[in-house]
Amino acid sequence: MPNATSFKAHDPRFAAIVGPSPTAELLAENKVYPFAHEAGVFFPDANNLYITSNRSIGPNGKQTVQITRVDLSKRPVTCDEIATDIPMGNGGINYGKDHVLFCGQGSMTEPSGLYRMSTTAPYKSELLKCDFNGRPFNSINDVVVHTDGSIWFTDPIYGFEQGYRPSPRLPSQVYRWHPDTGAIRAVADGFGRPNGICFSPDEQVVYITDTDRVHGDGTIDDQRVSSIYAFDVSMIHGEPSLTNRRLFAMADQGIPDGVKCDLEGNVYSGCRDGINVWSPGGVLLGRILIDGGVANFCFGRNGEIFALNEHRLWRVQLGAGVKGALLGV
């Protein structure tokens, strides 16, 4: 098994997170294509993990993304490719007990939008939302669901830059959509390329990553941001709004892609060197170093993290008391 992981502390508080004997286990490897790139949606009851691949060229010669279900109850784990109608899937999140809410980035002929997929074969999918009052989304990237039922998501222009979406018709910004009422709002702008998004455990803060340093064509501009921004969730005239935008942290290695919180409010983000961990106050506590970096990841049970490392899927074991804020397990 490749020895491609290690743990680096920057602050004494990191010891309480990693515990006395952190480990990393290579769960699966696919040398044919980068099957473990985005999403990372864990269902504890079924012990299944849903992931999306990086872009690759399909049999028809066009760019494609593959969704995979990983059965974690087996050793070795099994990885089953899922056939769906979701175009260029990317980020995802648990949506009820038996659905995944995927970000479909879209194609030249299929809309970018929020797609609900059943976790039961034949994995039927349904497009829920694909436009802002008639203007089509660019290439929805990541999504989170508030306890009030509203859905918050980012919409950068990567699909256009990477050649599988038409010219953008909206700015790169962040939206809140409530399926019950149909109301949709743009809640944050001023980003180069908004990417990952998550709530703090009490849902009083939203963290949004801006990956503007890396453009979709692969161009890197070190003068553009590779940072996480924090916003307060404030009620203004009875409506949730994002206020007090502030720079939370900058990733010094690559860009901060997927972002998650644990129940203590610590902030984790996938970066070029692995997973970086900051305190709720923005202090870099430490790094889970993984060769090749991590785009996205998710928490499992009792300190587990499933890290998506392109051609490899890792299970990282931190201290057993660490629990992801999303599921609380």
> In a structure prediction context, what are the per-residue pLDDT tens digits for the chain, which is 329 residues long?
345 689 999 999 999 999 999 999 999 999 999 999 999 999 999 999 999 999 999 888 899 999 999 999 999 999 999 999 999 999 999 999 999 999 999 999 999 999 999 999 999 999 999 999 999 999 999 999 999 999 999 999 999 999 999 999 999 999 999 999 999 999 999 999 999 999 999 999 999 999 999 999 999 999 999 999 999 999 999 999 999 999 999 999 999 999 999 999 999 999 999 999 999 999 999 999 999 999 999 999 999 999 999 999 999 999 999 999 999 99
The pLDDT value recorded for residue 5 is 83
18 SS3 class: helix
**Neighbour count for residue 224 (Cβ, 10 Å):** 17
Question: What b/e sequence results for 58-91 when a residue is b if at least 16 CB atoms lie within 10 Å of its CB, and e otherwise?
Answer: eeeeebbbbbbbbebeeeebebeebebebbbbbb
Q: What's the confidence (pLDDT) of residue 32?
A: 96
| Nearest Cα to Cα of residue 30 among 49, 53, 47 | 53
List C-alpha distances in Å: 259 to 192, 262, 328: 17, 10, 16
5-317 is classed in which CATH architecture? 6 Propeller (2.120)
| Phi, psi dihedral angles at 160 (to 5 degrees) | -65, -45
First to last CA, the chain: 28
Question: What is the predicted pLDDT for the residue at 2?
Answer: 43
d(CA 31, CA 312) in angstroms, rounded, equals 8
| Residue ranges of domains in the chain | 5-317
Give which of 29, 121, 109, 105 is closest to 69, Cα–Cα. Answer: 121
Q: Residue 58 has what pLDDT?
A: 86
One-letter amino acid of 312: R
Q: What tokens were used for 129? A: 């939302």
Residue 27 CA to residue 70 CA, distance in Å, equals: 10
In this prediction, residue 59 carries a pLDDT of 83
pLDDT tens digits, one per residue of 226-272:
999 999 999 999 999 999 999 999 999 999 999 999 999 999 999 99
Q: Identify the pLDDT of residue 249.
A: 98
Establish whether the linkage from the previous residue to 76 is cis, with ω within 30° of 0.
yes
- For residues 277 and 288, the answer to whether their CB atoms sit within 8 Å is yes
Tokens of 261: 């919180």
